[in-house]
Amino acid sequence: MKDAVLVIGAGVAGMTAAIELADSNIETVLIDRLPTAGGNALDLYKAFPTDDCFYCFEGSRSRPGIRKCFYRSALIDQPNLHLRTDTEVAEISGSPGSFTVKLTVGPRYVDSRKCILCGLCLELSNAFEQISPQCQPQAVIYRPDLLDDGAKKAESDCPTKAINLNAEPTEETVNITDIVLATGYHEMQPINVDEYSYGKHPNIITQLELAKILDPNGESGGALLRPSDGAQVKNMMMIQCVGSRDENYYAYCSKICCVFALKHAKIVSSERNGIGITVVYMDMRTYDRHERYYRETRDSGVRFLRGRLHLIDPREDGTLDVTVYDSLLNKYLRHNIDLLVLSSALEPPESNDGIIQLLDVQMRSGFIGPSDPFSENEVVAGDHLYVCGSATGPTEVPESVTQARAVVSKILQGRRS
């Protein structure tokens, strides 16, 4: 591998940057600390603004063929692209333009090149799991904390001998010219925002958790069921700005949660007939072309309530009595609901602090900022250092793609001179 670029984080932004670099004949190492590429997008069943289904290979109404499919084939077939999952940066040395990066890989319990997804190990033990039909590499994962006899039997019976329960982490050192930071975001677990009782009641969840429930490939096959007892949800509520625009948590607007919530609300009201849904907000921020989403969602029957939560009162039947202050009506309204979904703040991933220190790049509200905040080079984080996607702060999919392409353009320009 000569003059390689390292892309840290294999979400939408990282994958886009890596694939387009590789397509430009640049050796590219794409790493992710999780066992699969895809990032947060892997858990989304439909993505705005095109409403295409991440599992659909038929394409969407506005585009033939879709992004995900294109990503998958590139991740598999592009010879310049080297995907390393379960991989983290251990050390970076050298100088800009000539970094030496030590990676910690694995342990690789399942050899993804050998795994054929026959499902035998999944039958034998709960320690194996296929995290998503779209996972990349296409292989099962193994969770050593769930080791049992079945897992041992799976190891010996695996038809392709792909399993090694005693695998150890390995190290790999790569020589790198440029580093692309695409470390993404994490959805805040609002445990500390105690008025929302998150973590205390199973029927109080976050938007990403809802996305998994709505996913046709999920446990319930996309049916909206109460986590507490699997009963059909009849009425639900979403609350916006949980931990965002809040000096006690994150002072910034998480920017995409409004559209994210609208997308889910519209799926619920138009595809899960008969479920009543109310969205409680303080501002709806549907910037740019997403205004259309907001209007269509209202038209589909979703109720919007400007105000804030007053009280959650769990009932014995598993429902929640949620009282909300409606500031437009100046009244308190009590809703009996089955499911409360919190649009929780999007926060920087914990691992960001380490990388920010290691590379001495600018921190911006915990995310990675441009080296020169006054320049228009939003994606330039330093000398031979680039940043794109939600690593810069909450970013929607198309914006992540645009930034990733800007990074590729910068790197190509740098090589020409």
Partner 1 sequence: MSDAEEQTGPPITLVEPIDVSKLDSEFRKTIRSMPNGEELMACFACSTCTAACPIANQWDYKPHQLIRMILLGMRDDVLSSKEIWECLTCFQCQERCPQKVRVTDIFFDCKNLAAEEGMIPDNIIGLARELAEKGQLYVVTADWEREDLGLEPEVPGLSANGIREILKTTRTNKIVGGES
The binding site for partner 1 (CB under 8 A) comprises 276, 284, 294-295, 298-299, 301, 303-304, 306, 310, 323, 326, 328-336
Pair of tokens at residue 333: 């309204």
**Any idea what the Cα angle at residue 184 is, between residues 297 and 29, rounded to 5°?**
130
Nearer to partner 1, 41 or 262 (CB): 262
Residue 184 to residues 20, 137, 149, 157, 189, Cα–Cα distance (Å): 18, 19, 37, 38, 16
SS3 state of residue 151: helix
CA quadruple 68, 69, 72, 77: dihedral, nearest 10: -140
Nearer to partner 1, 114 or 295 (CB): 295
What is the closest distance, in whole angstroms, from the C-beta atom of residue 278 to partner 1 in the complex?
8
What is the closest distance, in whole angstroms, from the C-beta atom of residue 73 to partner 1 in the complex?
42
**Any idea what the Cα angle at residue 291 is, between residues 286 and 296, rounded to 5°?**
120
Nearer to partner 1, 34 or 333 (CB): 333
Nearer to partner 1, 200 or 295 (CB): 295
What is the closest distance, in whole angstroms, from the C-beta atom of residue 229 to partner 1 in the complex?
20
**Residues 6 or more apart whose Cβ sits within 8 Å of residue 126:** 146, 148, 150
Pair of tokens at residue 74: 């590139």
What is the closest distance, in whole angstroms, from the C-beta atom of residue 268 to partner 1 in the complex?
16
Look-up of token digits 């296929």: 130
Nearer to partner 1, 152 or 303 (CB): 303
Nearer to partner 1, 130 or 300 (CB): 300
Residue 87 to residues 245, 305, 353, 358, 360, Cα–Cα distance (Å): 33, 44, 17, 17, 21
What is the closest distance, in whole angstroms, from the C-beta atom of residue 328 to partner 1 in the complex?
5
Q: Please, is 322 exposed, middle or buried when counting C-beta atoms within 10 Å of its C-beta (0-12, 13-18, 19+)? A: buried
Task: Give the relative orientation of helices 12-23 and 67-77 as an angle to the nearest 10 degrees.
Answer: 50
Strands (E), 216-297: 235-242, 276-281
What is the closest distance, in whole angstroms, from the C-beta atom of residue 284 to partner 1 in the complex?
7
Nearer to partner 1, 91 or 291 (CB): 291
What is the closest distance, in whole angstroms, from the C-beta atom of residue 276 to partner 1 in the complex?
7
